[in-house]
């Protein structure tokens, strides 16, 4: 049966995160020919509405208020719930990002609804919606089948393909006025420590370093390779603890979870906590001097050697391939 699905478009630095378009792709599988409604919350976000329509939204609703300039769970929950009162959707899809992970349980509590989080695939089967999500730190997967009722889910970035962009698509863009009040938290200043460039959680290529990188200077080699491949730099907990890089780069059970097309692990032993954050990458390449390192057990390709020799050689080869491409 056709459904009306609301999709939250996530804005960062005045542009839409790619997971917003992936969420539309997931909503399309759920809607079964129904309506996809994009939702933009923030300040001066209406200019981004057309992008959601190009990627498959049928129409877009915006909620703009100075109090929504910075994310707060209370402010966003008020905005989303107010829009839901207007459009009466059958479900809402968000990205499994810091924002989505924070606000979705609040929505579930307010709506007295279930929540399927960290979804990697969505499919319709026999009138039901089947969500697949990893459990036990990625060691296994479970299927959640929704047979009836409201659908609330968050999707893991870089897993569900967005629909093809079509700039000829058109759709209505409207606004809903919401009185944002009784905020229990106010953001006065945002101090960014994340690395510049490609968003680590959405990067198609991740070059990651462990204790084997030995120093902050060692990470410069990884940054150079990442720049060549248009990717992002990540790190193991050990590298962060050793002050080789900032904790914003940490990948693992207590850090970010990434699923890039290509993950290159440099000087990483492969502790289970790190594997929990990257083992679902599509192609894993491991570079380590120890042939017995655990990382080789999950790698598709392994290079036994000194990363300080191997990484520069690979970077040069990548440069040649890209020049000749």
> Does 273 show up as a binding residue in the annotation?
yes
Closest CA to 8 of 109, 91, 93, 70: 93
Say whether pLDDT at 195 is over 60: no
Q: Tens digits of per-residue pLDDT, 99-117?
A: 999 999 999 999 999 999 9
Number of folded domains that form the chain: 2
**Residues forming beta bridges with residue 265, ordered by sequence position:** 208, 286
For residue 256, give the CATH number of its domain.
3.40.50.1220
Would you say residue 184 lies in a domain? no
Average pLDDT over residues 160-170: 95
Give the pairing of strands 140-146 and 128-135.
antiparallel
* CA–CA dist 206, 284 (Å, integer): 10
Is 236 annotated in a binding site? The answer is: yes
pTM for the model stands at: 0.86
Q: Is 270 annotated as a binding residue?
A: yes
pLDDT digits (tens, 9 = 90+) for 104-155: 999 999 999 999 999 999 998 888 999 999 988 788 999 999 998 999 999 9
154 marked as binding residue = no
**53 with 170, same domain?**
yes
Token couple for 259: 């699923």
228-253 mean pLDDT:
95
Is 151 a known ligand-binding residue? Answer: no
> Does 112 lie in the same domain as 45?
yes
pLDDT in tens, 71-80: 999 999 999 9
Confidence class for position 323, pLDDT limits 50, 70, 90: confident
Domain that holds residue 251: 200-324
Of 126-130, 297-301, 305-309, the poorest mean pLDDT is in: 126-130
Q: Which run of H or of E encompasses 296? A: none
Portion of the chain with pLDDT greater than 90, in percent? 84
96 has binding-site annotation = no
How sure is the predictor about 13, in pLDDT bands with cuts at 50, 70 and 90?
A: confident
Does the annotation flag 43 for ligand binding?
A: no
Does residue 237 sit within a domain?
yes
Q: Looking at the domain assignment, is residue 195 inside a domain?
A: no
Annotated ligand binding at 288? The verdict is: yes
Do residues 67 and 158 share a domain?
A: yes
Asked if residue 95 and residue 233 are part of one domain, the reply reads: no
Asked whether residue 123 is assigned to any structural domain, the reply reads: yes
* 267 marked ligand binding residue: yes
Closest CA to 161 of 15, 27, 7: 27
Q: Are residues 218 and 106 in the same domain?
A: no
Whether residues 111 and 255 share a domain: the answer is no
Do residue 164 and residue 33 come from a single domain? yes
253 Cβ contact list (under 8 Å, min separation 6): 137, 272, 273, 274, 276, 277
- Chain position carrying tokens 């889910």: 153
Query: What pLDDT does 191 receive?
Result: 76
pLDDT in tens, 23-56: 999 999 999 899 999 999 999 999 999 999 999 9
Claim to verify: residue 130 and residue 257 sit in the same structural domain: no
CATH code assigned at 119: 3.40.50.620
């Amino acid at each position: 049966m056709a459904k009306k699905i609301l999709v939250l478009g996530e804005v960062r630095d005045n542009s839409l995160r790619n997971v917003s378009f992936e969420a539309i792709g997931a909503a399309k599988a759920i809607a079964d020919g129904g309506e996809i409604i994009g939702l933009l919350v923030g300040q001066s976000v209406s200019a981004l509405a057309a992008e959601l329509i190009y990627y498959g939204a049928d129409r877009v609703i915006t909620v703009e208020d100075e109090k929504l300039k910075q994310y707060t769970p209370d402010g966003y929950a008020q905005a989303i719930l107010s829009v839901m009162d207007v459009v009466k959707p059958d479900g809402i899809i968000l990205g499994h990002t810091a924002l989505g992970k924070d606000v979705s349980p609040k929505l579930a509590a307010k709506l007295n609804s279930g929540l399927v989080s960290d979804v990697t695939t969505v499919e319709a089967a026999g009138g039901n919606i089947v969500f697949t999500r990893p459990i036990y730190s990625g060691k296994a997967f479970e299927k959640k089948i929704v047979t009836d009722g409201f659908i609330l889910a968050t999707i893991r970035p870089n897993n569900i393909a967005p629909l093809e962009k079509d700039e000829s698509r058109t759709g209505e863009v409207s606004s809903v006025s919401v009185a944002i009040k009784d905020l229990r938290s106010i953001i006065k200043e945002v101090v960014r420590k994340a690395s510049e460039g490609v968003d680590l959680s959405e990067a198609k290529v991740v070059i990651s370093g462990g204790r084997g990188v030995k120093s902050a200077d060692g990470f410069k080699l990884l940054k150079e390779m990442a720049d060549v491949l248009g990717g992002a730099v990540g790190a193991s907990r050990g590298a962060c603890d050793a002050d080789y890089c900032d904790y914003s780069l940490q990948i693992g059970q207590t850090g970010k979870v990434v699923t890039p097309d290509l993950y290159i692990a440099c000087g990483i032993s492969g502790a289970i906590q790190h594997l929990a954050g990257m083992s679902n990458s599509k192609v894993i390449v491991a570079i380590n001097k120890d042939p017995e390192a655990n990382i080789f057990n999950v790698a598709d390709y392994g290079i036994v050697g000194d990363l300080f020799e191997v990484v520069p050689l690979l970077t040069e080869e990548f440069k040649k391939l890209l020049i000749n491409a």
